[in-house]
Structure 1
Amino acid sequence: MQLKVLALPGDGIGVEVTAEGLRVLRHVAAKFKHDLVLSEGLLGGIAIHKTGTPFPAETERLALEADATVMGAFGLPEFDNAPPDKRPERGLLGIRKSLGVFANLRPVKAYDALIESSPLKNHLLTGVDMIIVRELTGGLYYGTPRGITGAGDEERGTNTMTYTRAEIARITRMAFRLAANRKKKVTSVDKSNVLETSQLWRKVVEEIAPEFPDVKLEHLLVDNCAMQLVLKPAQFDVVLMENMFGDILSDEGSVITGSIGMLPSASIGGQKPSGAWVGLYEPVHGSAPDIAGQGIANPLGAIGSIAAMLEYSFGLLEEAAAVNAAMEAVLNSGNVTRDLKGTATTVQVGQAVCEAIG
């Protein structure tokens, strides 16, 4: 099978962890005899430095031509006070919109080898295995009007949270389809006691739920969900939420795994004729400029994102399972980076995963 993949390493530790993800991808392609066609582009801070924009037209072209895109991390402190259209994160929003990826899937799993790395008590972690499904192209981050207007005491910042029925329906069906092949439970998260967008969200979710009679639906207000994720995380299977709620609560999953460096993600959209999903794949963590270049960043989130790409964009379930099993074997060996209380370098972890794949 030909795997046409675009790599966008980005900023900070994104370069280092993406390199190890690609090392694993090359190893898998060679082992399973796939034809890997790999290209590289610019996105984020590095793109601003080299082209003046966080999302160059050439990067958009490469992304549209690729079967899947692997990304690193984006953002640098030097851009913290830059106007919104000149910030690295704007490139990420741009590529998501260009590719039409509307669902962000963030698996959160408690590995036995990492139980002591989590600040949660051990008994709370038993059986934790969930997917947070975040709507990705609507809500507060994309709504209009937006901006800063006026001056003096009348200077005003405006963002608009808005959702259409169609946007809610397609992400809801995605969540239910995932749950149908897992533990058959969807927890929909909203703020329907206050927000009209959440009232529509809950209404549409309840209308779609009967299409999946084997899947149980429950609702949680977002503040209660934030609490339940640390009080009783094993209760969740598929957790469905809008864009901003998902952005915030999915990072809470790092408490469960023991390190935010463990969390992969898949952002997927339309399906190809083969049934595979158009997708962007990236670790959840940020660019961590304070440790960039030191060779100590955890690459397992990036490597896990490669496994997700193999599964969702290429339908290669055996290859994805091999990567996931190798990651767990490396965790069990203790050959991990310092965020997991190990001494291995970023490169050593990537090499160890390749060796475990065989």
Structure 2
Amino acid sequence: MENNKIVFFGTHSYDRHAFTDLNKQENLGFDLIYHRSFLDLHNADETHGAKAVCIFVNDRADREVLKKLKENNVEILALRCAGFNNVDLASAKEFGIKVVRVPAYSPHAIAEHVIALILTLNRKTHRAYSRTRDGNFSLHGLMGFDLYGKTAGVIGTGKIARVLIGILQGFGINVIAYDVFEDKEYEKKSGIKYVSLDELYEKSDIISLNCPLTQENKYLINKDSIAKMKDGVMIINTGRGPLINSEDLVNGLKSGKIGAAGLDVYEEEHDYFYQDRSDQIITDDNLSRLMSLNNVLITSHQAFFTQEAMHNIVSTTLHNVKDYFEGKELVNEVSVQS
């Protein structure tokens, strides 16, 4: 390969071990340079001398950053994730920078995490665990409900959502769904029913967000949509943080309109998620309020984090770059129209 350097941003020890190990195991011959900090305009010069840059969900690839990458002769931006809302695709195209991603690393990982959040919030096992460790074996405040016979509204019916729907149906849950692009063949085969957003809000006991973030659906969950929901609805978000207006979510929880919320993502997660902030004050007021509520469960964007998913992410990412260097078709390229 003409230039074998890949500069990584936003990395942790597990990233470095996984990429380094596979690079050696498959004898790919890459020179892997790791940075702990997230990519932004302040550290974009660290890409000098590399044709390939690898980023994750909290790295920033807006027009100014991409311009700097172009000045440093970067040719390909490899996302080690499925989402690409943090990349200015139009500017990437203008500057001639290819953008590739990992479209499907493990839909099972995400779907199973949704179920973990639902079960934990419903049966309050997180609270029971803390109590019994302190010798408190009372059941006060721990009552849940049978999932059987309830209705779940799934927003987005891509690969992750379809795995999730299969699991939900295994619990005897009725599933209704919303998607901008309805797949009638899948609807018939799976036994779900596509409905409007308003009907989904009205009928769902549990709502799971499994759609990508777009300009059109930012703050999909807001005070107006919350007002249309069932009293006591459970909301789960493993998609992207800005799908939910956090302030409106807090108000819905405080009023009791929302019965519980499970969040693996948060709209302002950049300054907190994937980092140890245990010795600092959380200055984000909405995040602090959400963390203080016992009917809210927040995980740190970990839904993807399984052995199988990590292997698939690493393998696909490195082979995306390898294909580019070898002049092969980029099957996982992201275009402006995506």
Q: Which has the higher helix share?
A: 1
TM-score (norm: length of structure 2): 0.38
Q: Relative CO higher for 1 or 2, CA cutoff 8 Å, sep ≥ 6?
A: 1
Q: Which has the higher strand share?
A: 1
Structure having the higher Rg = 2
